[in-house]
Copies of this chain bind each other. A is one copy, B any other.
Amino acid sequence: MMQKPDLGYLFEPRSIAIVGASENPGKVGYKVLSNIITDGYKGKVYPVNPKGGEILGVPCYKRLEDIPGEVDVASIVIPANIVYDAVMSCAAKGVKFLEIITSGFSEIGNVEEERKIVGLARQNGMRILGPNIFGMYSAGASLNATFGPKNIRAGNIAIITQSGALGVAMMGKTAVENMGLSTIISVGNKTDIDEADLLEYLVKRDDTKIIMMYIEGVREGERFIEVLNRTTRIKPIVVIKSGRSTRGAAAAASHTGSLAGSDDIFDAVMKQCRVLRAETVEDALAWCKFLAESPMPKGENTLIVTNGGGIGVMATDACEKFGVKLYDDMPALKAAFSPVMPYFGSTKNPIDLTGQASAANYNTAFGAALKMESVHAVISLYCETAVLDAGEFVPILEGRYKQYHVAGKPLVFCLFGGRSAEEVVKALRDRGIPVFTDPYEAVSCMGALFTYSRNRALEPEVPEKVELDVGRINELIAKARADGRRHLFPAEGRVLMEVAGLPIPKSTIGRDLGECVKAAEDIGYPVVMKVVSRDILHKSDVGGVVLDLENQKEVIEAYEAILYNCRTRKPNAVIEGMEIAEMVRPGVELIVGARRDPSFGPVVMAGLGGIYVEVMKDVSFRALPLGKRELTSMLKNTRSYPLLLGARGEERKDIESVLSAILKVGEIISSCPGISDVEVNPLRVYPDGIKAVDVRVMLSKGEGDAHE
C-alpha cells in the first residue's frame, strides 16, 4: 500500500476534476461545477464528460486521462454502477483525493461495491471522501465543491456532517445567520476518510477556531476518542448526535447503516473527551458562533445586568441549568453599582437597572462591571421598554462588546421584545456581535464557554495501569468454549475475580462435619451453610440452606439439620458435602461492569447496584483507558455517590477500592478479547473494603458460534 496523501491536497487542491460534469442545470454535475466557478476557486477546474465541448465556459474533457496537468481532487458525480471504472481512471491519472458524491452504496446495502472501490483506491494511494455526500466547501481554496447553495461566507467555524440533507441546509442556515465557515464537509458513508482524519487536519489549521460535527454513528471509536482528546485541548468541538431515544436510534440505523451505540455511552464518552454536546442544530450553531468569537474567561464570576426582574430570574434559573456561576460579593457589587443605579434598582446579582433604565444606565453599568477585576463575564438582558431608545443602544453595545473582548471578558446580550428589539438584534448580528432573543439561549452559550474553558484547563491524565494474569483467564474461557458455553459458571466467575484481584466472599466445601467446622473456623463467624449436590437444584426448598451460623455449636446443628432435611425430602440425592461461606455484611451496594462497546471498544460502568439497578438506572459510563481524575468523576456523576461519602453521618466508604475494582473489570475486557461483558452486582462497599458478591461473565461471539 502506498503512503497516504496529505489532507492539505483535499482542502487546498491545485486542481479539481468534475467527473460527470453536466450542462443540464437540473443535474448535480452542473451544480457542483457551477458552485466551484461562482464561489471563486483559485485552482484549475477540469470538467469531464464523454460529450466533451464546453460547460459554463470551461473546456470539458472526454476522459479523465485527457486532462493535461495533475489532478489533486476528482469530484465524482456519475451513477453508482460506473464509479468503479472512474476510480480506475483516477488511479491511472494519479489523482490524490476522490470526492465521491454518488450515492447507492453501503447505505442501501450495496456493501461489496463500496469495498471494491475503497480497495482499489488504497492500492493506488488515493483517499476517498464519501460516498453518498454533498461534497465539501473549503475557505482556504475558496472551493465550493458541493451541490448546495452558493456564496458561502468564509470564516472560522468548521462543520463536519454525516447527513447530507442537514449539511446542505446548514450551508444555507449559516449564510443567513452571518456565520463564517472555514469548511463544511460531508463524510457520508465514511468508507475511508472519517471525522478523526478531518479533526487531525483541522486542529492544525489557523483558519479554524471551532469544529462542529453532526454524527449519526461512530466507527473506529477508540481512535476517535484519542483524536477528540487531543483536539479539544486546543479547539472546542460541538457535537450533535441524533438517535438519543431508543426509537431515534433505530431510525438512525435504518438510515445510514451505522450501528448507533447506546446513547448513554456516547454521551459519557463525549463528556470524557471534553466535547460539548448540543441537543438541537440551533443550539449547536449558536454555541459555535459564540465560542468562535468570545475570549476565554479568566474566572467564573458572572454578573447579570438586566432592566427587568422577571427576565433576570429566568436567566438565573438558566445559569443553574447551564453551569454558570453567579458572582455574590454583595459589598463589592454595592460599592461598584450603587453610584450608577436608578431608584428602586438592585445591586444584588442580577443587577436590576429597572424598567426605567436608559441606554446610558446600561452603558454605565457595563463600564462598572468592566472595571471590576473580580467580575469575569457578563450576561446582559433587555426587556423592550418605551423609555429606552433602541437607536442609542446599538453603538453602546457594540463599543462595550469590543472593550470586553480586549479585556478578555466574555459578554453576551439578550434582547426580548417587539420591533425595536428585533432591529437592535439584527443590527448587532450584522456586526458579528453575539445577541439572542431568549435568555436561556444566551445563558446556554455562556455555559458552553465555561464548560469548555473548565475542561481545557484540566491537565492531561496518565491512564491507570492494571496487571492481569491473562493466561489463567484464557484457560477459563477455553474451558467454557469447549463446553459450547457463551458464559462462565458462577464458580468460574469467582475465579476470574480472584485472578483480577477483586475480593470475594470466602467459601470452602466441607465433605464431612469435621471439615465443615474447620472451614467455619477458618472463614470466621457468622457463616452460611448450603448443601452441595448435583441432584438438588433448589436448595432452599428442601431445607438445604441455613444462614447466620454464629458458633461451632450452630454449625454442628445446621449440618445435622440439612442432612436430615435432604435425606427426608430428596432420599435419592447424592450429597457431596456442604459449602461453608462467609456471611456477607450489609454495605452500600454498587454495580460495576465493563463491556466491549460496538462503537467505542472497552467501556466501564459503575453506579447504584442491587435491586435498584434497573429501577433507578443510576449508572455512569466511561471509555478506557482512564486516568484517576476521570475515574473519580465517573463515580461522582452518579446521583448515589453521596452514599459512598457516608450519607447521614455514616462512615466514608472505601472509594479507592471501588475505583480499583472498576479498573480491574475494565482491564479484563481490554486484555481478554474472549470476554465481552463482566458485571459485578452487587459489589458491597464497606468503610474498610469491598466484596464482589455476585458476578456475571459473558464471552465474545467466537468463530465457531451459531449465528444469533
Chain A residues within 8 Å of B, Cβ to Cβ: 31, 103-104, 108, 147-149, 161-166, 168-169, 171-176, 214, 216, 242-248, 251-252, 254-256, 279-282, 307-314, 316-317, 319-321, 326, 344, 346, 348, 350, 352, 355, 383-386, 416-422, 437-440, 611-612, 614-618, 639-640, 642-643, 647-648
Give me 26 A-to-B residue pairs in the complex whose CB atoms sit less than 8 angstroms apart, sorted by A's number: A104-B344, A147-B386, A149-B418, A162-B310, A163-B308, A163-B309, A165-B311, A166-B308, A166-B416, A169-B416, A172-B421, A173-B417, A173-B421, A216-B310, A242-B310, A243-B313, A243-B316, A247-B319, A251-B348, A255-B310, A255-B312, A255-B346, A280-B314, A280-B440, A281-B314, A282-B438
Check B316 against A417 for contact (C-beta < 8 Å).
no
Kindly identify which residue among B108, B320, B385 contacts A168, using a CB–CB cutoff of 8 Å.
B385
Bound-state Cα–Cα, A615 to B639, Å: 7
Kindly identify which residue among B216, B254, B617, B643 contacts A346, using a CB–CB cutoff of 8 Å.
B254
Bound-state Cα–Cα, A255 to B312, Å: 10
CB-CB < 8 A to A104: which residues of B? 344
Bound-state Cα–Cα, A421 to B252, Å: 24
Check A439 against B280 for contact (C-beta < 8 Å).
yes
Check A386 against B149 for contact (C-beta < 8 Å).
yes
**Given that A307-B165, A439-B280 are contacting pairs, would A418 and B312 also be in contact in the complex, using a CB cutoff of 8 Å?**
no
Check A316 against B251 for contact (C-beta < 8 Å).
yes
Distance in Å: Cβ of A266 to nearest Cβ of chain B: 13
Check B172 against A420 for contact (C-beta < 8 Å).
yes
Q: Which residue of B lies closest to A242 (CB)?
A: B313
Secondary structure of the A side of the interface?
helix
Bound-state Cα–Cα, A569 to B254, Å: 74
Bound-state Cα–Cα, A640 to B386, Å: 52
Bound-state Cα–Cα, A438 to B346, Å: 36
**Given that A281-B438, A417-B169 are contacting pairs, would A252 and B614 also be in contact in the complex, using a CB cutoff of 8 Å?**
no
Check A255 against B172 for contact (C-beta < 8 Å).
no
Distance in Å: Cβ of A679 to nearest Cβ of chain B: 15
Distance in Å: Cβ of A143 to nearest Cβ of chain B: 18
From A172, A176, A326, A616, name the one whose CB has the most chain B CB atoms within 10 angstroms: A172
Check A255 against B31 for contact (C-beta < 8 Å).
no
Check A648 against B168 for contact (C-beta < 8 Å).
no
Copies per complex of this chain: 2
**Given that A176-B419, A386-B149 are contacting pairs, would A647 and B614 also be in contact in the complex, using a CB cutoff of 8 Å?**
yes
**Given that A246-B320, A422-B176, A438-B280 are contacting pairs, would A313 and B255 also be in contact in the complex, using a CB cutoff of 8 Å?**
yes
CB-CB < 8 A to A348: which residues of B? 251, 254
Check A321 against B172 for contact (C-beta < 8 Å).
no
CB-CB < 8 A to A639: which residues of B? 615-617
Check A316 against B245 for contact (C-beta < 8 Å).
yes
CB-CB < 8 A to A169: which residues of B? 308, 311, 383-385, 416-418, 421
Bound-state Cα–Cα, A384 to B171, Å: 9
CB-CB < 8 A to A326: which residues of B? 247
From A245, A252, A417, name the one whose CB has the most chain B CB atoms within 10 angstroms: A417
Bound-state Cα–Cα, A244 to B643, Å: 26
Q: Which residue of B lies closest to A150 (CB)?
A: B386
Check A251 against B312 for contact (C-beta < 8 Å).
yes
Distance in Å: Cβ of A338 to nearest Cβ of chain B: 16
Bound-state Cα–Cα, A617 to B307, Å: 36
Bound-state Cα–Cα, A162 to B311, Å: 12
Distance in Å: Cβ of A390 to nearest Cβ of chain B: 11
Distance in Å: Cβ of A618 to nearest Cβ of chain B: 7
Bound-state Cα–Cα, A162 to B314, Å: 13
Bound-state Cα–Cα, A642 to B438, Å: 39
A-B pairs with the 10 shortest C-beta distances?
A172-B418, A163-B310, A165-B308, A245-B320, A255-B309, A242-B313, A169-B417, A248-B317, A248-B316, A169-B383
Check B248 against A383 for contact (C-beta < 8 Å).
no
**Given that A108-B344, A386-B148, A420-B172 are contacting pairs, would A164 and B355 also be in contact in the complex, using a CB cutoff of 8 Å?**
yes
Bound-state Cα–Cα, A163 to B352, Å: 13
Check A416 against B642 for contact (C-beta < 8 Å).
no
Check A166 against B310 for contact (C-beta < 8 Å).
yes
**Given that A216-B310, A310-B163, A319-B247 are contacting pairs, would A168 and B384 also be in contact in the complex, using a CB cutoff of 8 Å?**
yes
CB-CB < 8 A to A255: which residues of B? 309-310, 312-313, 346, 352
CB-CB < 8 A to A149: which residues of B? 384, 386, 418
Distance in Å: Cβ of A437 to nearest Cβ of chain B: 7
Kindly identify which residue among B164, B173, B279, B642 contacts A615, using a CB–CB cutoff of 8 Å.
B642
CB-CB < 8 A to A174: which residues of B? 418
CB-CB < 8 A to A243: which residues of B? 313, 316-317
Distance in Å: Cβ of A359 to nearest Cβ of chain B: 15
CB-CB < 8 A to A246: which residues of B? 320
Q: Which residue of B lies closest to A420 (CB)?
A: B172
CB-CB < 8 A to A175: which residues of B? 418-419
Distance in Å: Cβ of A590 to nearest Cβ of chain B: 13
Distance in Å: Cβ of A576 to nearest Cβ of chain B: 28
CB-CB < 8 A to A422: which residues of B? 176
Distance in Å: Cβ of A104 to nearest Cβ of chain B: 8
Given A247-B316, A254-B348, 16 more pairs with CB closer than 8 A: A103-B344, A166-B383, A168-B384, A169-B383, A169-B418, A172-B420, A242-B313, A242-B316, A243-B316, A252-B309, A280-B439, A281-B416, A281-B438, A616-B616, A616-B618, A616-B639
Bound-state Cα–Cα, A245 to B440, Å: 13
Bound-state Cα–Cα, A416 to B418, Å: 23
Distance in Å: Cβ of A224 to nearest Cβ of chain B: 19
CB-CB < 8 A to A611: which residues of B? 643, 647-648
Bound-state Cα–Cα, A438 to B418, Å: 21
Bound-state Cα–Cα, A147 to B321, Å: 34
Check B244 against A317 for contact (C-beta < 8 Å).
yes
Check B438 against A165 for contact (C-beta < 8 Å).
no
Bound-state Cα–Cα, A121 to B243, Å: 60
From A383, A440, A618, name the one whose CB has the most chain B CB atoms within 10 angstroms: A383
Kindly identify which residue among B171, B248, B355, B440 contacts A279, using a CB–CB cutoff of 8 Å.
B440
CB-CB < 8 A to A417: which residues of B? 168-169, 172-173
